[in-house]
Chains A and B, each alone.
Chain A
Amino acid sequence: MKFVFVLLLSFCLLQVANAQKGRDPGTYNYEVQFLKTGLEGTELFKVFTYCKKENDCFEYAKIDALKAILFKGIPGSGLQRPLVSDPGAEDKFRDYFKSFFSEGGKYLNFVAISNDGSIEDDDRLKVGKQLKIGVVVSVQKANLRRELEAVGIVKKLSDGF
């Protein structure tokens, strides 16, 4: 009986630990603000993202910026409409995106932390038990579009002609 109780308790603790280890990969709990257009097909965004540890926020910010560009579009920016126009593409190319956004994945070729990762005082907030941090990232939108065109997720403008 004691053994069963210990087993159940361990199982519950393990579940809690797993849930806290990382966030839900499908999360859209972030805010992206357009800052400015760069010269060589890049755009700067400030991404407000939630995390337990500040370092995690930097990694989440890169992924969140790309997800916003790919699936949501960012008002006021040069990418107001989502780059992936087919609403079912995220599911259709699930394996590709899983690999793309995996640790050390291809996504790192298209996004980088800007300003040496310095955070303005107003952009570091405590929300409940979490941190909300505004990180400036630079996205190479032209290269990102080329990559997605090459794998057939985004239609080329000249397709059909």
Chain B
Amino acid sequence: MKKNILLLITSLSLTFSVFSQAKRPTIMIVPSDNWCYQYGFIEEEDNQGIKEKRPNYARALVENSDLGNVITKINGLMGERGFPLETLDEALKTVKQNAAEMMLMQSKTSGAEVNQSAYDQLMNVVKSDIIIKLGWTLTKSGFNKSIQINIEAVDAYTGESIASQNPPGEPSSTADIPTMLSVAVLSVIDNFNSRLQTYFDDLFLNGRKITVRLNKFSSWDGDFESEFAYNGSTDELNTIIDDWFSKNTVKGRFNNTGSTENVMNFKQVRIPMFNEKGKAIDAKDFVKPLQKMLQSTPFNIPTKLVPKGLGQAWLILGEK
């Protein structure tokens, strides 16, 4: 009997320790747009009739050996700190495989093809929490040359810059480019990680930041000022939705940046890192319970949930 109780206590504490560990944010390095322009790794893409210039990561990795070396160096240093990075090379291979399948996919109704930029495709594959944008500038002055490295971590959910470093490099007349790049990485990595640490501390304390926008279809005869009897009182829909955000955000933190009868905008919405099942959640997952609430009694409003990347979701009321 005693043995069984002991076994039960041990299993429970093990289960607790496993679930109390937060999922480690995933990080991936990509060359910055500016670097890609500078080194000519840019291609034109047709985005619904509009020509857009996009970086070509695959070509950059194959044709510029310095890029691969710098990524490997940073990967090694981050791995040493307990943060191995997602490999861009591997991610690109998966994107290539997916692209072939996407070519075959068409819309059910209009027959339109699914249109995604190379960057969107990459983000869909890796689903990294943090993207490190890397670049450098080589300057020559007489016999001396110097390298200014530029490294910036961006929150993939919000696009917000969370850490950046671009100190001027030391001039040298003898060192080769790979050595100078290696020194440049070593000179920035500790300050960069120190800022990353501040960001992680904030995530644990205050949750992730996302943006939510609520709209209405013109065909819907209601609006955000329509009144509903809910939870024992009668209020306008915008008040009920505002209350929902207060209850479901971390420490009730969000910013209602503007509400009219047709639209509600929420920015700096702090959502928990995980749901009650321990699954990491994004903007779409966070808004789903609100969608369910609005679709059920007493509201009975049909809604369409449109995810816009990891950190933004639109909920459109009135139709599916």
Contact = CB atoms under 8 A, between A and B. Distances in A.
Contact of A39 (B82, B83, B186, B204): B186
Interface string A23-37: 000000000000011
Interface string A129-161: 000000000000110010000000001111011
A79 interface: yes
Nearest to A37: B187
A160 B22 contact: yes
Given A78-B190, A80-B191, A157-B197, A39 B179 contact: yes
A36 B194 contact: no
Contacts of A36: 170
A37 B188 CA distance: 10
A156 B78 CA distance: 11
A85 B200 CA distance: 14
Contacts, number: 54
Given A41-B186, A161-B25, A79 B191 contact: yes
A72 interface: no
A34 B186 CA distance: 14
Determine the main DSSP class of B at the interface with A. Answer: helix
Contacts of A145: 190
B187 A39 contact: no
A81 interface: yes
A65 to B, nearest CB: 15
A158 B194 contact: no
Nearest to B203: A160
Contacts of B170: 36-37
Interface in B177-226: 179, 182-183, 186-191, 193-194, 196-197, 200, 204
Contact of A157 (B83, B182, B187): B83
Contact of B22 (A37, A78, A161): A161
A3 B5 CA distance: 76
B179 A78 contact: no
Nearest to A34: B187
B308 interface: no
A156 B197 CA distance: 9
Contact of B200 (A76, A79, A157): A157
B182 A39 contact: yes
A156 B191 contact: no
A38 B81 CA distance: 19
A145 B190 CA distance: 10
A81 B200 CA distance: 16
A37 B186 contact: yes
A37 B179 CA distance: 12
B204 A160 contact: yes
Contacts of B107: none
B21 interface: yes
A2 B131 CA distance: 81
A155 B198 CA distance: 11
B24 interface: yes
Contact of B191 (A81, A157, A161): A81
A78 B191 contact: yes
Contact of B183 (A39, A76, A85, A158): A39
A161 B196 contact: no
B140 interface: no
Contacts of A155: 197
A158 B188 CA distance: 19
B23 interface: yes
Contact of B189 (A76, A78, A156, A161): A78
Given A36-B170, A39-B179, A79-B191, A158 B24 contact: yes
Nearest to A142: B80
Given A78-B189, A157-B83, A157-B196, 7 more contacts: A78-B187, A142-B80, A145-B190, A157-B193, A158-B24, A161-B23, A161-B24
20 contacts: A36-B170, A37-B186, A38-B183, A38-B186, A41-B186, A76-B167, A78-B191, A79-B190, A155-B197, A157-B82, A157-B83, A157-B193, A157-B196, A157-B200, A158-B24, A158-B81, A160-B204, A161-B22, A161-B23, A161-B82
Interface of A: 36-39, 41, 76, 78-81, 85, 141-142, 145, 155-158, 160-161
- Please give me the 5 A-B residue pairs with the lowest Cβ-Cβ distance, nearest first: A158-B82, A161-B24, A37-B187, A157-B81, A78-B187
